[in-house]
Amino acid sequence: MRRAGEIRLPFDHDERAFREALSRLGIGPGDRWTILRKSLDARRKGRIRWVYAIGVDEGTGPPETAPPVLRAAPDPRPVVVGSGPAGLFAAYRLASLGVPPVLLEQGPPLAPRMRAIARFVRRGTLDPRANLCFGAGGAGTFSDGKLGTRVRSPHRRLVLETLVGLGAPEEILWLAAPHLGSNGIRRLIARLLARLESMGAEVRFGAQVDGLLTRDGRCAGVVLTGGRELAASHVVLATGHSARALYRSVARSGVAMVRKGFAVGARLEHPAPLVERIQYGDAAGHPALPPATYRLATTWGTEAGERALYSFCMCPRGFVLNAATESDGVVSNGMSNRPPRAGRSNAAFVVPVRDDDIPSDDPLHALEWQRAIETAAARAANPEGGCHALPAQTLPAFLDGRGDRELPASGALVPVCPARLDLLLPPFVVEAMRTGFDRLSRSVPGLVGSDGLLVGVETRTSSPVRIVRDRATFESVSLPGLYPVGEGAGYAGGIVSAAIDGIAAADALLATLPPAHCEL
């Protein structure tokens, strides 16, 4: 496929304009062409354009590559711990090449998980094993299904093509910012789990892993809640970033772990029409335009080192969620459906945590530091106990260091309660957020105003620890046979990057097995 050129057309162009633009590139009715990439350029509010990169098939075909080799399935089977994107795609890759694993998920299947989440949203009854982080599909099931990634990998195309094969729209192959929505990603996860079982994988829900089995210096399986042992030829650890109890157990087993960068802040809501006016100007509200998104960041130097504030996981016309996994802590997050229809948009605004911000080199101390913020936030928003409501503060009050008498309407799916986020978050985070918002307001008029509502606390942008692994073999450097992957192990930061990491680890695992008698 040869890149033929680029087409720039008004955002409300019709099919005729597109065909005429193809003709100007020299592409005729008989030529085979495809869209390589489609993105929206809204930098000039009066001249918003769709930008298409066009490729032409010259008939030479892709370079020949050796077909993947089926591997002989070991006995016992490999075990994959966690059914988030990393675990699902690791399991799918293994099963595709003749090695169907046992996939363990501590939470329930999708339907009972959704009922448990509905109970929490309505009544505040948290199930620590069935919530927005744990259950079929992991945290990705209730994300908003963003499929963007900056990871360069040949597996990226495989991930997207697999999702298209499961029913995702083909446009995810070329959109610059593909977005399935929470409703869309749930359907695909259900289909992927069903396909895994049809390929011979064994999927066990309600199977919580409490520890690792070792034999002769290698990982030889897992220990389930209640003490039951499950032997395995290899263990792929894809737990997600909220499995704190398992982190502690893995550390007790002597598995090498180190501190990793992460960020803390709060989720900022605005009325969606305001965000769209900021981004699109007079064109805001036009039916040909998608709900407006943004990605903002600012960095500055201080005497102690660099500080930054950046937006994360922007949810256009979406909802704020309470992603609590423990009954005494709250965690804010966001999602949006497709098509997005909510009246408010939100994004996390977070401050990176430097090594000197937490007074300990113990990687597990960072988990406790996170948790302390979450429990303080829960107490502030739920004075009678529990973790249902989220603390909130208008952005002007946060910047001025004062409380709110009342709050504007929120797009949160749980109650929000007036609270002093400027006192709940660590002082260095508050100071950096105030400086960062001041800097961003100069280039984004309207961002800092009376319509802004901060909902907290956003503490789990990524794992604060990394389980150290060998770059070539993907195995733990201290426990061969253990393959730490995905966000929870500290090697990914989203659905697609986690899926890519799962596939790469599966390929490394498969390379240790002998070929079967036939090839694909």
pLDDT digits (tens, 9 = 90+) for 251-264: 988 999 999 999 99
pLDDT at 361: 82
Q: What percent of the chain has pLDDT over 90?
A: 82
pLDDT digit string, tens, across residues 21-70: 999 999 988 889 999 999 999 999 889 999 999 999 876 655 556 678 89
517: in domain: no
pLDDT at 64: 58
Does residue 158 sit in the same domain as residue 243? yes
pLDDT at 379: 98
Judged against a pLDDT cut of 80, whether residue 1 lies above it is answered with no
At 441, give phi and psi (nearest 5°). -65, -25
Of residues 386, 364, 362, the one with CA closest to residue 375: 386
353: in domain: yes
Does residue 273 sit in the same domain as residue 422? yes
Domain with residue 206: its CATH number is 3.50.50.60
pLDDT at 360: 86
- Read off the pLDDT band of 363 (50, 70, 90): confident
Judged against a pLDDT cut of 60, whether residue 225 lies above it is answered with yes
Does residue 452 sit in the same domain as residue 481? no
Does residue 250 sit in the same domain as residue 279? no
Q: Looking at per-residue confidence, does 62 or 354 come out higher? A: 354
Of residues 329, 330, 310, the one with CA closest to residue 320: 330
Q: Where a domain ends, among 458, 486, 501?
A: 458
Q: Are 394 and 452 in contact (CB under 8 A)?
A: yes
pLDDT at 143: 78
**What does the block give as tokens for 350?**
């977070």
Q: What percent of the chain has pLDDT over 70?
A: 98
Span 342-347, average pLDDT: 94
Span 401-423, average pLDDT: 96
Domain with residue 44: its CATH number is 3.30.70.2700
Spatial neighbors of 398 by CB under 8 A, at least 6 apart, are 421, 422, 430, 433, 434, 454
404: in domain: yes
Of residues 66, 71, 91, 332, the one with CA closest to residue 194: 91
**What does the block give as tokens for 512?**
């240790």
Rounded Cα distance between 389 and 29, Å, is 58
Span 146-154, average pLDDT: 84
- Read off the pLDDT band of 401 (50, 70, 90): very high
Span 103-115, average pLDDT: 96
Span 6-13, average pLDDT: 96
Of residues 192, 228, 195, the one with CA closest to residue 213: 228
61: in domain: no
Does residue 278 sit in the same domain as residue 426? yes
Does residue 90 sit in the same domain as residue 215? yes
- Read off the pLDDT band of 520 (50, 70, 90): very low
Span 171-188, average pLDDT: 90
Judged against a pLDDT cut of 90, whether residue 147 lies above it is answered with no
pLDDT digit string, tens, across residues 493-510: 889 999 999 999 999 999
365 burial via Cβ count (<10 Å: 0-12, 13-18, 19+): middle
Does residue 120 sit in the same domain as residue 22? no
63: in domain: no
pLDDT at 61: 59
Q: How far is CA 289 from CA 40, 277, 282, 286, 294, in A?
A: 9, 12, 12, 6, 14
433: in domain: yes
520: in domain: no
Does residue 103 sit in the same domain as residue 178? yes
Does residue 323 sit in the same domain as residue 216? no
Does residue 282 sit in the same domain as residue 218? no
pLDDT digit string, tens, across residues 272-318: 999 999 999 999 999 999 999 999 999 999 887 899 999 999 999 99
pLDDT at 67: 72
71: in domain: no
Span 177-196, average pLDDT: 92
Span 334-350, average pLDDT: 90
Does residue 318 sit in the same domain as residue 270? yes
pLDDT digit string, tens, across residues 62-100: 555 667 889 999 999 999 999 999 999 999 999 999 999
pTM of the model: 0.94
Q: Indicate the number of domains in the chain.
A: 3
Q: Where a domain ends, among 41, 56, 71?
A: 56
Does residue 347 sit in the same domain as residue 384? yes
How high is the mean pLDDT of the chain? 93
Structural domain boundaries, residue 420: 263-458
Rounded Cα distance between 225 and 52, Å, is 52
